[in-house]
Amino acid sequence: MKELNTDVLIVGSGLVGLVAAHSLSRLKYKVTLVDKKNLINSANSFKDTRTVAVSEGSKFFLDNLSLWQFLEHYAEPIKNINVYDRSSCNKIIFNNPSKNKKLGYVIENKIFSKILINQLKKFKHTKTHYGFNLIDVELNNRNSRAFSNDTIINAKIIIAADGKNSQIKKIVGNKTFKKNYNESALVLNFTHEKKLNNTAYEIFYKTGPLAILPMKSSKEVFQSTVIWSNDNTFLKKLTSLEDFFIKSFMEEKIENIVGKINKINSHQIFPLSAHINDSFTNKRLIYVGDAAHSIHPIAGQGWNLGVNDVKNLYELSKNTVIEIGSDMFCQMYNNKSYHKAFQLFQITDKLNSHFLNTNNIYRSLSNVGFGFIEKNQSLKNKITNYAMGV
């Protein structure tokens, strides 16, 4: 049995885990990143055309970590977000009150991951181990220990970044409150006729929200991603059809925005659920990202909420007075991170319920509310700043 020592053990090499590794590596901690699978080199990574919506606040943090300079070329800036309730007649147009800032940026997952992994290689005190099959965890006052079939890793703290179905959480036993939505999300990557001019769209249909996110495109080919929440059975039937019929159906929904759909590059379906842990900490253990919480994608804030966890971790880790992994450290992290996560868990759930309500009186009141927000620039700016994380 091989035994390794490190300051920080990060379990999970998704985007949030990788950002956590960068943030602590920059603070000169000895970091070990482990994962059961190599997500970049797996065959599935090339099929994954999901995108990440990066808020201005997250971009600012990535810039502080000297990462944004490598990501910027692949990021499509969002200058405006047009929100429609059922139709463009009931709309709110959001834009950034600060001319030198954007509402957000859209980047492909796999490109994002490759850049973070490549840049992580610059830190000589940071090690990455794939094929690490976690089978047990020990937590005590002095350190934490993670066990695979042939390796033991001793650390001052374990950061669980291993997603919704966190293996660490199953082993340790932290409780989770979960809500399953009776819907799934269709992620559809396609090229189209019209240029979106850095504008994203969110259309609230009675069946669920449909978001259109412009991706980095060439002068000749415009590319976007649709994220559509809908009934799982319906989405499976739709995606089982030939591309010609999928294109025809989607054009009925969004042709006035994107023009003719030229080619469907990929489509994937993901079941929708939300959850939040009873606590984001344990003895010498903290949870970040989807291992701690997940929310309905209605506001596109899930990944940025995970970055907020890492930002809180980073700020606390800079404080050399408090030992990383100590009870005080973990409790302060929980205090800084839990409230915002719980708040967004509730907000996104209530927003989804609001827009799914088909009662005529309720919809009329909703339209009045949309009109009020659209005419109130001060209120729109507050909503915008909250969503941007600034």
8 Å CB contact between 306 and 290 = yes
Q: In what order do the strands lie in the sheet with 8-11?
A: 126-130, 31-35, 8-11, 157-160, 285-287, 281-282
- Terminal CA-CA length for the chain: 47
**What is the CATH class of 2-77+109-178+275-356?**
alpha beta
Report whether 129 contacts 10 (CB < 8 A): no
Count CB neighbours of 263 within 10 A.
12
Q: Are 163 and 182 in contact (CB under 8 A)?
A: no
Q: Give the chain's residues under pLDDT 70.
A: 39-47, 388-390
- How far, in Å, CA of 219 to CA of 249, rounded? 26
Pairing of strands 281-282, 261-277: unpaired
What three-state secondary structure class fits 142? Answer: coil
Residue whose C-alpha is closest to residue 302's, from 210, 390, 387, 187: 387
* Cβ neighbours around 128 below 10 Å, total: 18
CA distance 148 to 151: 5
Query: Which one-letter amino acid corresponds to residue 68?
Result: W
Q: Collapsing DSSP states into helix, strand and coil, what is residue 216?
A: coil
The reported pLDDT for the residue numbered 41 is 61
pLDDT tens track for 111-133: 999 999 999 999 999 999 999 99
CA nearest neighbour of 301 among 215, 181, 387:
387
How far is Cα 308 from Cα 40, in angstroms, rounded to an integer? Answer: 24
Q: How far is CA 28 from CA 23, 24, 33, 312, in A?
A: 9, 7, 15, 17
pLDDT tens-digit series, residues 194-252: 999 999 999 999 899 999 999 998 778 899 999 999 999 999 999 999 999 999 999 99
pLDDT per residue as tens digits for the range 169-193? 999 999 999 999 989 999 999 999 9
Handedness of CA 286, 290, 294, 298 (dihedral sign): positive
